[in-house]
Amino acid sequence: MITPWRSALSYAAIVTLASLAVGQVVSILYFALDFDAWAKEAFRSPDQLVFPAAAIAVLTGVRMRLPALSRWRTAVIDTSLYTFVLLVVEITRAAVAGDEQPVDWGFLMLIVAMYNLQLPAALGLSAWRYERLVPVVSVRARGW
């Protein structure tokens, strides 16, 4: 069964926004001694909204088109897509900013996402919200 768009959208928003929040909280704790440095890094430009929008759009589209597999297969597929979108957005952001090595910057940001627990949080949240993806058909709806 294919997931309804509302369920897919809420799933994608929760996985994306909550994992970003986990990453920001860990970054705040890491930069606890220098809050100004964290604030400059966290809010460096308005293009910070590109990744959440792209990740939500990609995860929603994939969940609407693919059936929900087992819990961990779905979590691995969605986390891989989340990681790929993060990589593409960071490479694009670095290339637009004129960085000489945008691909290196993209992979560096993936390492940072691992250290600040953003990617592990996305995996855990994807597995946790799996129940939201599985359409539930009541017995009355089937006419039984």
pTM of the model: 0.84
Cα distances (Å, whole numbers) of residue 49 to 42, 46, 113, 127, 140: 11, 6, 16, 24, 43
Cα–Cα distance, 87 to 81 (Å, whole number): 10
At residue 44, the pLDDT reads 63
What 3-state class would DSSP assign to 3?
coil
Neighbours of 129 (CB within 10 A): 21
- Helices 5-30 & 50-65 angle (0-180, nearest 10): 140
Q: What is the pLDDT along the chain (144 residues), one digit of tens a residue?
A: 577 788 889 999 999 999 999 998 888 887 776 666 666 666 666 677 899 999 999 999 998 888 778 888 989 999 999 999 999 999 999 999 898 999 999 999 999 999 999 999 999 999 998 887 766 554 455 455
At residue 108, the pLDDT reads 92
